[in-house]
Amino acid sequence: MKKILLVLLLMSGNAFAEEISVKVQGMVCSMCAQGIKKKFSAIKEVKTIDVNLDQKLVSISTEEGRNIDDETIKKIITEAGYNVANIERK
């Protein structure tokens, strides 16, 4: 019975959208924010993307049942010319 509950819990965790907050170093202008927003908007897992230039924060909301791993996030941001300071998932 415990195994069944564990499997159900693991499966149900994948059915939810995820909120990801990424602290980015090096963003200084609106063009920086637009570039990052454009890169993430092209990814099928991303439902919404918001870039807060003042807080140097990129907020990503994934499509339900989809996820983006930390390495992919870091790769996109570093290829755009910035550094990832921190990634938090909610």
According to the model, what pLDDT value does residue 89 have?
94
Per the CB < 8 A criterion, the answer to whether 20 and 87 are in contact is: yes
According to the model, what pLDDT value does residue 83 have?
96
Q: Please, what is the angle between helix 70-79 and helix 30-41, to 10°? A: 140
- 56 torsion bin: left (phi>0), alpha (psi -120 to 50), beta (else): left
**DSSP letters spanning the chain:** -HHHHHHHHHHHHTTS--EEEEEEES--SHHHHHHHHHHHHTSTTEEEEEEETTTTEEEEEEPTT----HHHHHHHHHHTT-EEEEEEE-
Domain boundaries, the chain: 16-89
Pick the CATH number of 16-89 from 2.40.30.170, 3.40.50.720, 3.30.565.10, 3.30.70.100: 3.30.70.100
pLDDT along the chain (90 residues), means of 10: 49 68 94 92 95 96 94 95 95
